[in-house]
């Protein structure tokens, strides 16, 4: 499941999101800079977001001292999205190589 009984992100979903976050955190500083976040959004939705959108993501969901989106902020974004539209979260996972139902990497899901 995407959520646990307390309506929080499930452990398997957090693991998938952490792996996705880390794939875009190129400098490994624990946050997504505007460039890194833009790459994530582009791969997810196929369009480049405006700079104001990238800044707002950090402000709304969780940012570090530089104003960059943190892993916790990434989780917060996906929690809100999942509560509103779980199908969209599953689609987003699939765009990043994860099985949206089983919450495992697609290459692992095919071999299981």
pLDDT tens digits, 39-54: 999 999 999 999 999 9
56, 68 contact by CB (below 8 A): no
* Mean pLDDT over the full length of the chain: 95
**How far, CA to CA in Å, does 22 sit from each of 16, 84, 111?**
10, 25, 24
Neighbours of 79 (CB within 10 A): 20
Read off the pLDDT band of 70 (50, 70, 90).
very high
Q: What percent of the chain has pLDDT over 70?
A: 96
| Lookup: tokens for 10 | 């499930």
């Amino acid at each position: 499941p995407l959520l646990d009984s307390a309506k929080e992100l499930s452990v398997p979903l957090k693991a998938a999101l952490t792996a996705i976050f880390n794939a875009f955190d190129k400098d490994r500083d624990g946050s997504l800079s505007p460039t890194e976040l833009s790459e994530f959004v582009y791969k997810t939705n196929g369009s480049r977001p405006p700079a104001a959108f990238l800044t707002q993501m950090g402000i709304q969901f969780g940012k570090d001292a530089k104003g960059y989106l943190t892993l916790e902020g990434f989780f917060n974004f996906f929690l809100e999205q999942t509560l509103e539209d779980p199908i969209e979260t599953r689609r987003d996972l699939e765009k990043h190589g994860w099985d949206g139902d089983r919450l495992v990497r697609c290459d692992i899901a095919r071999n299981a």
